[in-house]
Amino acid sequence: MNQKRMNLIATTALTVAFSLFLSLVISTSFFPSMAEARTQRVIVFLKDQAAFTQVQNHFTKFGSQNLMTQNNLWGAAPHALSQVNGNIQTTLKSLNSVIVKIENPSEIQKLRLNPAVEFVDEEIFHPAPKPVHGFAVVNKLSRNATHITGETTGEFVPNASTPWGINAVRAVEAWPLSRQGAGARVLVLDTGIDKDHPSLKANLEKGKSFVDPYGLAYDYFDDVGHGSHVAGTIVGVADSSGFTGVAPKAKLLMGKVCTPEGCSNLSVARGIEWGIQEKVDLVSMSLGGAQATPTERRAVSKAAAAGITIVAASGNDGIPQVSYPAALPTVIAVGAVNADLLKADFSQWGPELAVVAPGVDVVSSVPQGSGRTPSFRSNLVLHLFRLFQAALLKEVRLFLNLSTKK
């Protein structure tokens, strides 16, 4: 087992457990965008690279002007979508696709009949992760807002304040082999992050938003509290208080794909595409529902083909059915256990379930200025949805088997 794989195991032994349970319920259906009465967004997958390159070059030159209007512009070359009454918002090179905003639903059928188009998928929204218990939502935080600050210092020594999951997966014992996750790069697709949190900022490599701006302090700011909590569970800095993440020396990339209103399938696809471009080792998602859209299926498939491990929450309805995207063939589905190492009541299961990990009463970081002490690791009883997801199933199972031996 090579060192990088061990790093990934450390980075995924305990996870995000958190996410969907905090949503309280993984929805059994999708709900449409509230803006559908005015505009609608679709993602258009083109059949070949030549057609995509034409459209991408056009977008690079003329931006988001109406595609039909562009036909009259000097220097405009013919392209596959020149008859579409809509505006390109962005292109996704790894997925050979473009996101288009349209105002007339009839344009969708026109796109589907276009011989250069493989398929068209409409935007839908998964339910948003709910705020961490006790977290005061700071929606539309002013850029001038004052954060509570603090620093984590001193050498890490496990104690009563150490999250119980760290001991359950014997993470500290694995650190000599995993180097505490050093060298591993993990992309979390969630509600964003508090980039200045003292338990997170040292390990945050970069963040990016895939949602429309809505007045936050910075575009990937976590106004829900969910993404920061997940981040602390994974890469929280080990300090003298006894707190640590599973892989405190791994690097984190945070993609904001969810707002308090929901998680767009187009945002999720853009986040995964970013992970492909960044060549991350792991993508972690604690979001989803009873179905996966064609867009999400394609994005997950492309990531797998690029050698990226994807882990996702199995669901929190307590039913014998794994939710999507966790149920997809190339995704590692993670369920939750409690401190007695018994299945959490809310954790979904099924034949797709690959591994379970600590997912109940887990303590982690939340955004500063949310009404807690600077560490934001007070003795909260956070009913987390699931665990720190696992990277490579065979190696995770081997790790768990070895950890039971003295």
Residues annotated as part of the active site: 190, 226, 378
What distance in Å separates the CA atoms of residue 230 and residue 297, rounded to the nearest whole number?
Answer: 23
What distance in Å separates the CA atoms of residue 392 and residue 90, rounded to the nearest whole number?
Answer: 32
What distance in Å separates the CA atoms of residue 366 and residue 374, rounded to the nearest whole number?
Answer: 10
Helix ranges (H only) for 223-308 are 226-235, 265-278, 294-305
> For residues 95 and 298, is the Cβ–Cβ distance under 8 A?
yes
Q: Backbone dihedral region of 242: left (phi > 0), alpha (psi from -120 to 50 degrees) or beta? A: left
What distance in Å separates the CA atoms of residue 368 and residue 388, rounded to the nearest whole number?
Answer: 22
For 174-204, b where at least 16 C-beta lie within 10 A, e where not — what string?
bbeebbbbbbbbbbbbbbbbbbbbbbbeebb
Size (the chain), residues: 406
CA-CA-CA-CA dihedral for 164, 165, 170, 176, to nearest 10: -100
Nearest-CA neighbor of 382 among 157, 205, 29, 130? 130
* Type of residue at 371: G
What distance in Å separates the CA atoms of residue 307 and residue 282, rounded to the nearest whole number?
Answer: 9
Residue 403: half-sphere exposure toward Cβ, Cα within 13 Å: 20
> For residues 7 and 178, is the Cβ–Cβ distance under 8 A?
yes
> What's the first-to-final CA gap in the chain, in angstroms?
20
Pair of tokens at residue 37:
């009465």
What distance in Å separates the CA atoms of residue 119 and residue 199, rounded to the nearest whole number?
Answer: 43
What distance in Å separates the CA atoms of residue 189 and residue 184, rounded to the nearest whole number?
Answer: 16
